Amino acid sequence: MRRTIDWTGDAVTIIDQTALPAEYRLLELRTVGELVDAIQRLAVRGAPALGAAGALGVVLATRAAGDVEAEAERVAQARPTAINLSWGVSRALAKLPEGPEAVLAEALEILDEDERINHEASRLAAEVVLEGCERRPLRLLSHCNAGRLATVGWGSALGVVWHLHARGLVESVLVDETRPLLQGARLTAWELAEAGVPYRIQPDGAAAAAMARGLVDCVLVGADRIAANGDVANKIGTYGLAIAARHHGVPFVVVAPSSTVDSTMPDGTGIVIEERDPAEVLSFGGTKVAPDGAEVFNPAFDVTPFELVTAVVTERGVLRP
């Protein structure tokens, strides 16, 4: 399948995730400003994909007449929670003294690496799931989107589903809709349908009830930043899922590339949580759904304490916090 984000010789090409599932649309981004806008409005999203976007943003900056380092910083600050974005920027920027072609080569290597790394991380995580779940075939629960659309081309947590499905070990996937922007209903469900994996979409608030009814064998999520102690920042609602999973004895497995681990962050209390536009909550499908003057709390992420995590899996191995 086409990569979620790629370099086409003179532009960054992305699958516009704001258009799915109604329309499969590609965007060509030729300036740093266009890339930053795409990142901030979630046309490209997901920590691993943002790492690639960060590196390609530096490539765009080298091709413009301006301050490359200042433009690279604009990209790095476009979204504060996912460490992969600044990681990709830093890695490409380190090649700047060698010239623009060296920057491009490093960015392309990050693209190739991402597919390999997430394939391996999800392969290892599939074995963790099989070790922790007696029932076959499995009923899995996902939150937000951690599939190929969140990466360059394979997927992290949803990559586990691809591995297990290929072995005939997936009965179905419960897909949290993921309010307020419905990345689960719009993106994860689209990917599962494309792959022929049985699934059902559920309201976010139904997850605990599904576990109580014995409908979930394992919860699989990605991550936007993992602290040194194993605390995990991920899409808002992940913390509540982890609490429910612990209460019901359901394994809670986090899958991410090692670039998502922030060894400089001792624990999750220091992770900056992005708060998004109140309009995302005040309206739905273009229709106002709240009274005039309503105040809004709209964090994009929450932090799950390591005590609630069964395992964090990267391409480097399995960490049981």
Active-site residue, from 176, 217, 224, 262: 224
**286: buried, middle or exposed (CB in 10 Å: 19+, 13-18, 0-12)?**
exposed
In 3D space, the residue among 48, 46, 12 whose CA is nearest the CA of residue 27 turns out to be 12
Tell me if 288 is assigned to a ligand binding site. no
What would the two tokens of residue 247 be?
């209460």
224 is known as an active-site residue? yes
> Within its chain, how far is the Cα of 43 from the centroid?
13
Tell me if 235 is assigned to a ligand binding site. yes
Rg (CA), the chain: 19
DSSP collapsed to 3 states, the chain: CCCCEEECCCCEEEECCCCCCCCCCEEEECCHHHHHHHHHCCCCCCHHHHHHHHHHHHHHHHCCCCCHHHHHHHHHCCCCCCHHHHHHHHHHHCCHHHCHHHHHHHHHHHHHHHHHHHHHHHHHHHHHHHHHCCCCCEEEEECCCCEHHHCCCCECHHHHHHHHHHCCCEEEEEEECCCCCCHHHHHHHHHHHHHCCCEEEECHHHHHHHHHCCCCCEEEECCCEEECCCCEEEECCHHHHHHHHHHHCCCEEEECCHHHEECCCCCHHHCCCCECCCHHHHEECCEECCCCCCCCCCECEEEECHHHCCEEEECCEEECC
Tell me if 234 is assigned to a ligand binding site. yes
Tell me if 79 is assigned to a ligand binding site. yes
What would the two tokens of residue 156 be?
């992290």
User: 222 with 187: CB under 8 angstroms?
Assistant: no
Tell me if 94 is assigned to a ligand binding site. no
Binding positions for substrate: 45-47, 79, 183, 234-235
Active site residues: 224
Binding positions: 45-47, 79, 183, 234-235
